[in-house]
């Protein structure tokens, strides 16, 4: 599931290479392995260094903390056992903080991300979109809310199993990401429903966006010939002059989407 932290298509399973008879004998032969503790220590230190380097590029605050610790360590020029022990303790404490930081970041990501498509989930969308509406109202900006529904997802699941239905959702997420900007808020609300909140002032015409989405959806599903992957899309406009809530916009876009789906079920994208 791509980003940008973005959703990715699932690749084909890796093929298992056949082992040669000689290799099979080596693998089957029982062996005693002696572990060199110095090598093991160097491997752990190398791993910790690599982990620290990776984390530092992602967390400037922790990078600053580590830098301060390094400065403190340099100032402790005495080679007494107590000084060396203190320096080692400081380094271990910071490394532990770095590891905990990336764990916390991953947990936060899981709480706000749809695990299939890697887009925002409903909770994250509601929080981010509500905040965006407040900013837009304060700055006098117009917004567009797109509410999309994958057509006939139940039939896809029933005919080709849920794995294929998952792929249809992943392809849809990919098409949405290719259509909208990184600054727009994209989410899978659940099931076959997606939503996007985009700033209208810097977005192309609504019709242009829907046409681009249609093209990207066709490209993302070009290798699937068993069924057409289509969307029904309703659009609602946020005007800062009026006191519309996010719930109002979602209701308007949802109603427009279902009304067009009912009257024009074979169209790719339905416009309001």
126-165 pLDDT, tens digit each: 999 999 999 999 999 999 999 999 999 999 999 999 999 9
Crossing angle, helix 81-112 and helix 122-139, to 10 degrees? Answer: 90
Maximum average pLDDT range among 8-17, 37-46, 202-211, 217-226: 217-226
- Give the CA dihedral 206, 208, 209, 210, nearest 10 degrees: 90
Nearest to 143 by CA among 11, 250, 33, 1: 250
For residue 18, the 8-state DSSP code is P
In a domain, 20, yes or no: no
Q: Look up the CATH number of the domain holding residue 238.
A: 3.30.70.270
Same domain, 238 and 165: yes
pLDDT confidence bin for 2, thresholds 50/70/90: very low
Which alpha helices (DSSP H) does the chain contain, by range? 21-28, 37-56, 60-75, 81-112, 122-139, 153-179, 206-220, 246-263
pLDDT mean over 226-248: 92
Lowest mean pLDDT of 8-17, 144-153, 200-209, name the range.
8-17
Higher pLDDT residue, 210 or 77? Answer: 210
Determine phi and psi for 129, rounding to 5 degrees: -70, -40
Same domain, 149 and 254: yes
Identify the pLDDT of residue 55: 53
Q: What is the mean pLDDT of the chain?
A: 75
Identify the pLDDT of residue 15: 32
Same domain, 139 and 257: yes
**Cβ–Cβ contacts within 10 Å for residue 260, how many?**
19
Same domain, 145 and 82: no
Higher pLDDT residue, 45 or 150? Answer: 150
CA–CA gap between residue 149 and residue 41 (Å, rounded) = 54
Residue 23 has pLDDT above 50, yes or no: no
Identify the pLDDT of residue 11: 35
Same domain, 151 and 100: no
CA–CA gap between residue 57 and residue 51 (Å, rounded) = 10
In a domain, 89, yes or no: yes
Query: 177-180 — which CB contacts under 8 Å span 24+ positions?
Result: 177/2, 177/3, 177/4, 177/6, 177/7, 177/119, 178/216, 178/219, 178/220, 179/209, 179/212, 179/213, 179/216, 180/209
In a domain, 78, yes or no: yes
Q: Which domain holds residue 91?
A: 35-112
CA–CA gap between residue 106 and residue 257 (Å, rounded) = 34
Sheet holding 143-150, edge to edge: 185-190, 193-199, 143-150, 231-238
pLDDT confidence bin for 173, thresholds 50/70/90: very high
Record the tokens describing residue 112, joined without a space.
């706000």
Cβ pair 224, 175 in contact under 8 A: no
pLDDT confidence bin for 121, thresholds 50/70/90: very high
195 sits in which H/E element: strand 193-199
Residue 4 has pLDDT above 50, yes or no: no
In a domain, 10, yes or no: no
Record the tokens describing residue 97, joined without a space.
């903080």
Residue 100 has pLDDT above 80, yes or no: no
Identify the pLDDT of residue 89: 76
Identify the pLDDT of residue 149: 94
Nearest to 272 by CA among 145, 108, 174, 161: 145
């Amino acid at each position: 599931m791509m980003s940008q932290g973005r959703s990715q298509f699932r690749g084909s399973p890796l093929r298992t290479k056949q082992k040669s008879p000689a290799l099979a004998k080596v693998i089957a032969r029982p062996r005693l392995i002696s572990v060199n503790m110095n090598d093991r220590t160097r491997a752990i230190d190398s791993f910790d260094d690599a982990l620290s380097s990776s984390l530092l590029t992602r967390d400037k605050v922790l990078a600053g903390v580590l830098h301060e610790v390094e400065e403190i360590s340099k100032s402790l020029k005495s080679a007494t056992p107590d000084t060396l022990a203190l320096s080692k303790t400081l380094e271990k404490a910071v490394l532990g903080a770095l590891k905990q930081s990336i764990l916390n970041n991953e947990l936060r990501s899981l709480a706000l991300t749809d695990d299939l498509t890697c887009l925002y989930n409903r909770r994250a969308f509601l929080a981010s979109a509500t905040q965006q509406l407040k900013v837009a109202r304060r700055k006098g900006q117009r917004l567009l809310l797109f509410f999309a529904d994958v057509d006939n997802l139940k039939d896809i699941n029933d005919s080709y199993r849920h794995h294929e239905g998952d792929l249809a959702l992943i392809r849809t997420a990919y098409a949405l990401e290719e259509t909208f900007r990184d600054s727009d808020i994209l989410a899978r609300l659940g099931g076959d429903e997606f939503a996007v909140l985009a700033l209208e002032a810097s977005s192309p015409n609504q019709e242009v966006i829907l046409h681009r989405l249609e093209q990207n959806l066709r490209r993302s599903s070009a290798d699937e010939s068993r069924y057409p992957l289509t969307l029904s899309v309703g659009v609602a406009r946020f005007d800062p002059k009026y006191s519309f809530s996010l719930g109002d916009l979602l209701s308007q876009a949802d109603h427009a989407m279902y009304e067009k789906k009912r009257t024009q079920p074979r169209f790719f994208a339905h416009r309001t």
